[in-house]
Chains A and B, each alone.
Chain A
């Protein structure tokens, strides 16, 4: 996940603002997986996460003329759109149970079934544990450890101070570990 604006990304953004669909596709390829992961861990359903990922980019495309690239990193802007969409998603419907489609991307001939099952199990556990955290905790944990954003970027995105973000993060990690242990039957 690229969080800093580099000159090439700036060019892509400018070209996209001008209406260049191909430039936007390049941005999409660059950020699609990160946005997908972010959404997936917030809603726990792969199908819905894929749909919402596309929706994020369609909305971004439509709103691009209003985007101020000197003010916010493009990635932060995308996460913000994704965040709003997730809120809309929960308003419109109750969280879906983890479906049998979860992690269906893993089956491949190159990977053993045991590996697939283990990875799926691990992901499912983490998604379940994440859902026990508050919304803010989920967001900060994901942005920090799954997407690798800095505290500065996270603080800007969630509208809190960096210190507050750190404290929330540490608390969330401990809570997550405790929940995982509980789910795994160690306590």
Chain B
């Protein structure tokens, strides 16, 4: 029996290999082994069918967002990852793994030698006049590696966590500028490198911040700087999506999602989390006249690095909800930060799902940081679960016949967990999308802890014409919420161009 099973297995694998690599048919194999035909045939047929589904992969959405989510979950685990100071390379290609990464991060007796050596190196480099040249190098340029090394040295030489954090942010900003240049020069092959560099710098800044000074006084101010920087950079990334070739758009989109998660995590981790008095805009609306469009020129882009002083336009740390809204709405992204009040008291989404366009930002908003923010929010949420829904990057026009993923964000802004017993329904022109394959118009909700956000999506096949899309969460009203009036995405107008095959600009 032993020999028999082993022999049969060997033949089976040989046949599979021949079928997959040499184009044999099952019959070809069976012809070769007539004595085994009876046993071999069913096994081979089943095995081949199983092998054919090896290409099965998780959903695009999952693949797009899973890394960001995993990072958050690891941060929240019993064993949060250590500092990302040394994580400037990429692990995505294992062959590029720098050896320094596997070294224990414990301080060695000779560690003081490193700063001296790098300082000496820097002086030599500066004296040689290479720094400025290298600094202008982009991915793909000969001096880019030197630029990276100099940056690393500069970070190591910073005397404080604050300065290191700021430098990381500055380098992240440089990477973004490089992406603009690379796209302009049609060197899209190198965009991914610059984008990875950008994400690594942001991640390093965030980790540095959280590991070293969370809970300390200076954290709040630095957190504001990081938050503002990320906000500004999100705008830049949105611009990049428009400019970038389609092959890079998904990567940039993923970076935007990662940033939004970092900002949400900051809110969660900040002990004095003070949701900003920003107006919550959860609906993509037509761009108001006078506001800068999302496609600003490079020169018109806001400075991506805050100057370090308490921000003039926004306060403390943005609430997770407003972060989502910022990411959600291209209009709000492009607009100056919107303030509804000058005090850093928390606010919560409006009770009504439509948001009046009267939130004109003050041209010179004044803000005086309070050293001891009031622990008592001016608007205390009513106890209970409270679901909100907002669209996530819905686009106003799509080509006919395209299969659209309509992402939406669900957030529990209440004080009690929302159980997974609710559903979210998409309506097209007021008619509930029934979920005919491959369309999906009804989604089962997941459990959401207080403050937790989930992202989900519908799938809709775009049909010719102008449509009004809307969605309602907890459509069956199974959750007794403290506020039942914020469960809806109001009519979103989407134009499906008849006969076009590419998205209109």
Residues of A within 8 A of B (CB): 8-9, 11-12, 14-15, 18-26, 28-30, 32-33, 36-37, 40, 46-47, 49-50, 53-54, 57-58, 61-62, 64-65, 99-101, 103-109, 113, 116-117, 120, 122-123, 126, 141-142, 145-146, 148, 151, 163, 166-167, 169-170, 173-174, 176-178, 180
Contact = CB atoms under 8 A, between A and B. Distances in A.
Contacts of A103: 56
A58 B99 CA distance: 25
A178 to B, nearest CB: 7
B32 interface: no
A151 B9 contact: yes
Contacts of B120: none
Given A54-B69, A100-B440, A122-B49, A21 B42 contact: no
Given A33-B58, A163-B2, A24 B102 contact: no
Interface string B289-305: 00000000000000000
Interface string B94-122: 11010101101100000000000000000
Contact of A23 (B53, B58, B101, B438): B101
18 contacts: A11-B99, A12-B97, A22-B90, A22-B200, A24-B81, A50-B62, A54-B70, A54-B73, A99-B444, A101-B440, A105-B60, A106-B438, A107-B459, A109-B402, A123-B56, A146-B53, A166-B9, A167-B5
A169 B94 CA distance: 33
B58 A178 contact: no
Contacts of B99: 11
A23 B74 contact: no
B85 to A, nearest CB: 11
B59 interface: yes
Nearest to B91: A26
Contact of A170 (B9, B73, B435, B438): B9
A30 B203 CA distance: 21
B39 interface: yes
A155 to B, nearest CB: 12
A8 B59 contact: no
B52 to A, nearest CB: 8
Contacts of B62: 50, 105
B372 interface: no
A113 B438 CA distance: 8
Contacts of A105: 57-60, 62
